[in-house]
Amino acid sequence: MQEREEGFALVGLESALLFERPEEIYARVFREMRPRTQAPFVRIEYCQFANADCFVRLEDGGLHLRVSDLFQGAPAPVVEALAHILLCKLFRREVPKTFTRRYRMYLNRKEVRRQAHLVRQIRGRKFLSGPQGERYNLEEIFDRLNAAYFDGLLGRPALGWSRGASRQMLGHFDPSHNAIIMSRIFDTAAAPPLALEYVMFHEMLHLRYPVDHAGARCRVHTREFKEAEKAFPQYKEAKELLKRL
């Protein structure tokens, strides 16, 4: 009900902003935040980024914006929300939740997610070293876990090792490139095999349980995901091993 009401509010707001160009929206939001400062000229450059990246800087009396072309042609309320987010970042202010929610709802629209996914596939670069490491072969580990816990039903994605032995990102699944990348920290004799298998199992669960998009929310680890993860044998022991890497 809340999302439906907000949807009606967006329609009215878009009508009110219909005749404002994006540059005018940014200038207006700037004046709202800095009423005593002379309004700068606004220059917007739409860029072919691999993600929904946007950047802003205030320089030589002008507000210069480099905005992902995913926002080119976006509804006026979304442009206004993005303007508030970028200018709040520029002036180190907290972003009002109304604008954060509106921004997220736009990016969570099915057609926008589809376009963003396609953009990442085409423009994004993915380093893939291949599954064979110094000590372990990721295809062998994937196939063994697939047979043991997924009845062999998961299609094998591209598998590879990271460039470095990262402790911050032990593994990740990239849906745009259908790839699982594992940290090289596991490809050593010192790393417990159980820790490697658990992280691989975790990333495989992302194949089984995709991200849940609902309104402004984006849940990567759903309840079903978490329940399935805890079913991993020696779950607690594996989590403790990761803390000691």
Q: What is the CATH number of the domain that holds 217?
A: 3.30.2010.10
**pTM: predicted TM-score of the whole model, two decimal places:** 0.58
Give yes or no: residues 113 and 148 share one domain.
no
Residue 216 to residues 2, 89, 99, 164, 199, Cα–Cα distance (Å):
11, 20, 11, 34, 28
Query: Is residue 206, in this structure, part of any structural domain at all?
Result: yes
Q: In angstroms, how far is the first alpha carbon of the chain from the final one?
A: 46
From 96, 123, 150, the end of a domain falls on 123
Query: Is residue 239, in this structure, part of any structural domain at all?
Result: yes
Query: Residue 196 sits in which domain range?
Result: 138-243
Query: Is residue 112, in this structure, part of any structural domain at all?
Result: yes
Give yes or no: residues 159 and 234 share one domain.
yes
Query: Is residue 104, in this structure, part of any structural domain at all?
Result: yes
| Each residue's pLDDT expressed in tens, for the chain with a length of 245 residues | 344 434 434 444 544 466 789 999 999 999 999 999 988 999 999 999 888 999 999 998 899 999 999 999 999 999 999 999 999 999 999 999 999 999 999 988 888 888 888 887 777 666 678 899 999 999 999 999 999 999 999 899 999 999 888 888 899 898 878 899 999 999 999 899 999 999 999 999 999 988 776 666 667 788 899 999 999 999 999 999 998 88
Query: Is residue 152, in this structure, part of any structural domain at all?
Result: yes
| Per-residue pLDDT at 210 | 80
